[in-house]
Structure 1
């Protein structure tokens, strides 16, 4: 297994009691603000740790980080260095892919025994599911992205004309980083076949209106992880914790209480 070092000054939001169980919250392509509600909710009973992935929101991306596998290796190494145990991985979109990659890698490496305790994948990309291709994110304009990602597209639509120059620059830089790290297809053809090695409790949460990756895609991912549970969230798209937070918490909290 390769070892990747994340930047020492990587921005990390921490909330909740540091003595509590750690939840590593991993954001998707939209950046760290898209998982802020998850951090706030989990902080009530866990130690929520939410890093900004290298290359997002103006952070530097080392040349050694060119894939989701690199990010997964870097986060595993950092958790190990910090002496963590029984960590809950909570990932949204690309963050869900990172979380699953971390869990699959940890299952094959005795260095990480006991490091990961559970994984929650929220509308994660990354797998190749026959008959259920991910939307071509990079071909979507702002309107198309809102229609694919949100149950209520008007709520998710951001008029590009209203963005400041700074916001536009960040958005474009995030897109370039995502293209490098996730690739045009936002998938790894080996991932689905490797999920059978995951040996921790797993929950797959999916918005019923997600058209980036469909609920059928999500079910296939859940089916590939031994013992994983799949829960569909009504009235939500690709980011159910933003569109239907109460229903999302109702799915997540019982799982965490048992895991």
Structure 2
């Protein structure tokens, strides 16, 4: 039996409910980091953007204790809701979740046709020799801005400017990410299992990302049978936030072709 999503799962919806579904999956920074993707896809898709269990004060069932478990829970919900030919778009750990969903869907005939394409934006999850994932949990806010943004001054969030409530929420979100993704934010089996993905997959990386480098992204794309790598200049770990005008054409061209 697949893990169950919580009854209080928060899902942002946008676009035409009769249109093709795009499931947009956020990273550790929370649902606000993918808001531009939701808005961009809304004119042509029925966009669903869940807040992952445990983020932003939501509950997390005990059996959702890993990225694999969360991916399985999302797949089961898609099946229950009749999802077909869904486009998965994931950022950072959301990209990892999307890849894991595609792997699991390929291995289970119940999900035949459920996933149509994957967009992995600066996703973590794989172990790539010579391209380590930054130790996110040891970084100060300034160090995080340095590795995650092309323009660190733009990405830096001064902890002193946060309210006590915001700081507490940030800490709870970090604890949830640690519980699901682990300190290494990777699965040692992922790179090999990527060969099981059957749908077209775009691996889209900010050229200045140092959380996971473009070289890391190229190897992830190369491991996927129908994988494609593209880089966005003047952008780091969140190219859709830092340089959307350069991100959308590549994203749109890929999705339109699927």
TM-score scaled by length of structure 1:
0.99
| Aligned equivalents of 1:227, 1:175: Cα separation in 2 | 33
- 2:67 maps to what in 1? 68
Structure 1: runs of 5 or more not aligned: none
- Written as runs of structure 1 = structure 2, the 5 A alignment for 1:171-182 is 171-182=170-181
* Alignment of 1:235 onto 2:243: no
Q: Secondary structure at the match of 1:120?
A: strand
Q: Secondary structure at the match of 2:57?
A: coil
Q: How does 1:179-258 map to 2 (within 5 A)?
A: 179-258=178-257
The match for 1:13 is: 12
58-67 vs 209-218, which deviates more?
A: 58-67
Partner Cα distance (2:87, 2:227) in 1: 14
How many corresponding residue pairs?
258
- Is the 8 Å Cα contact of residues 8 and 59 (structure 2) preserved in structure 1? no
Give me the whole-angstrom Cα distance separating, in 2, the residues matched to 1:137 and 1:9: 28
Q: Which structure 2 residues correspond to residues 120-135 of structure 1 after superposition, within 5 A?
A: 120-135=119-134
Supply the distance in 2 between the matched residues of 1:8 and 1:115 (Cα, whole angstroms). 23
Q: Secondary structure at the match of 1:57?
A: helix
Measured against aligned partners, the alpha-carbon deviations of 1:177-216 in whole angstroms (never above 9, x if no partner) come to 0110000000000011001010011101000000000000
Matched residues in 2 for 1:15 and 1:103: separation?
Answer: 23
**Counterpart-to-counterpart distance in 2, 1:8 and 1:201:** 32
The answer for the alignment partner of 2:99 in structure 1 is 100
Contact 2:8–2:58 (8 Å) recurs in 1: no
- CA-CA distance at 1:61 after TM superposition: 1.0
Counterpart CA distance in 2 for 1:63 and 1:197 is 28
Asked if 1:163 is matched to 2:128, the reply is no
State how far apart, in whole Å, the 2-side matches of 1:13 and 1:125 are. Answer: 23
- Superposition TM-score, scaled by structure 2 size: 0.99
Q: Distance in 1 between matches of 2:178 and 2:255?
A: 33
Distance 1:251 1:165 in 2: 39
Name the CA distance, whole Å, in 1 between partners of 2:102 and 2:142.
34
2 CA distance for matches of 1:146 and 1:105?
Answer: 33
Q: Helix, strand or coil: the match of 2:169?
A: helix
1:34 alignment counterpart: 33
Q: 1:209-234 deviations in whole A, cap 9, x for unaligned?
A: 00000000000000001121110000
Following the alignment from structure 1 to structure 2, what is the Cα–Cα distance between the partners of residues 107 and 44? 29
| Structure 2 residue ranges without an equivalent (≥5) | none
SS in 2 for 1:75: helix
Instruction: Tell me how far apart the structure 2 counterparts of residues 231 and 92 of structure 1 sit (CA, whole Å).
Output: 14
The residue that corresponds to 1:88 in the other structure is 87
Determine if the alignment matches structure 1 residue 141 to structure 2 residue 123: no
Give the superposition deviation at 1:44: 1.2
